[in-house]
Amino acid sequence: MKTIDIFKALSNETRLNILLWLKEPEKHFPAQGAHIPKGVSFVGGVCVGDIQEKAGLSQSTVSSYLNMMQKAELLESFRYGQWTYYRRNEASIQALAEEIRTHL
Amino acid sequence: MKTIDIFKALSNETRLNILLWLKEPEKHFPAQGAHIPKGVSFVGGVCVGDIQEKAGLSQSTVSSYLNMMQKAELLESFRYGQWTYYRRNEASIQALAEEIRTHL
DNA sequence: TTGACATATCGGGAATTCTAGATATAAAAT
DNA sequence: ATTTTATATCTAGAATTCCCGATATGTCAA
């Protein structure tokens, strides 16, 4: 993924907030994980509906924001049944910090 | 300066390139510094005209891009006579990397 | 297999960003 | 003083982004 697409993904207040909320999912999404069954773990993942409610934007908007952030590798997703869970891609976020530190 | 304004400044290819060009001014702007007199030093600074030529965009566009990047604290400027020199604000760029590493 | 629910995708109007040309300002040279 | 040069600001059209409602897709339950 190109660095500039990461910056584009980060240059919107809602998308930036989503990334920050997902840093402490249990704090910002109290009902998180309710649909993940035993044996399946996707720690830190929050479903689209919960993120949408918190963001206060339409379902379609939030869905495409999440998709955009995943393409930029800021998030990763896991589908369980009819739910899609998103969580931060920590490795990629740290790689961005390192990229800025050394090459920007 | 708000982090989001930094990301907005970085989410344009030309502006991103300007920042990268200024990392090695002598390489990308061979004629750089020609107007800085003895006793005045603004190491790494390049005047607007040189940056404009390299970018291949209009003078007004480049001028406002540079202004925007300075407001975001990615650049700093120094005026000498009719020339304005811009250079990277390294401290601020490193602060961004650190901000991403620890708080994003 | 039908209905309900979660998410994704499509189409479009509103808002913002991109970028140029025209003009203003400010300093230097004549 | 006038002209030239470098940069900044203003105005505006084109391009892009924002964000919604409508619709499609996929999954689960009855």
Residue B53 in tokens? 């030529």
Closest CA to B49 of B73, B83, B26: B83
- B68's CB contacts (< 8 A; 6+ apart) are B9, B15
Q: Which of residues 60-99 of B touch A (CB under 8 A)?
A: 93-94, 96-98
- Residues A68, A36: Cα–Cα separation, whole Å: 24
pLDDT tens for residues B31-87? 655 565 555 567 678 999 999 999 999 999 999 999 999 999 999 999 999 999 999
Q: With CB atoms and an 8 Å threshold, state whether B10 touches A13.
A: no
- B28's CB contacts (< 8 A; 6+ apart) are B21, B22, B54
For residue B63, the model assigns a pLDDT of: 98
A7 and B CB contact within 8 Å: yes
Query: Across A1-104, where does the E strand assignment appear?
Result: 46-47, 75-80, 83-88
For residue B42, the model assigns a pLDDT of: 74
Determine phi and psi for B103, rounding to 5 degrees: -120, -15
pLDDT tens for residues B12-45? 999 999 999 999 999 999 765 556 555 556 767 8
Q: With CB atoms and an 8 Å threshold, state whether A7 touches B11.
A: yes
For residue B30, the model assigns a pLDDT of: 78
Contact A31, A83 (CB under 8 A): no
Closest CA to A9 of A67, A56, A64, A72: A72
Residue corresponding to tokens 């908007």: A61
For residue A97, the model assigns a pLDDT of: 98
Compute the 3-state secondary structure of chain B and give helix, strand, coil in percent, each to the nearest 5: 55, 15, 35
Q: What is the pLDDT along chain A (104 residues), one digit of tens a residue?
A: 799 999 999 999 999 999 999 999 999 997 655 555 555 567 678 999 999 999 999 999 999 999 999 999 999 999 999 999 999 999 999 999 999 999 99
For residue B41, the model assigns a pLDDT of: 66
- Residues A43, B77: Cα–Cα separation, whole Å: 46
- Greater pLDDT, B98 or A40: B98
Contact A66, A75 (CB under 8 A): yes
Closest CA to A32 of A17, A48, A13, A15: A48
* Residue B1's pLDDT band (cuts 50, 70, 90): confident
**CA→C1' distance for B58 and D1 (Å):** 31
B104 and A CB contact within 8 Å: yes
Contact B80, B36 (CB under 8 A): yes
What CATH architecture applies to the domain A3-103? Answer: Orthogonal Bundle (1.10)
Q: With CB atoms and an 8 Å threshold, state whether A16 touches B3.
A: yes
Contact A84, A91 (CB under 8 A): no
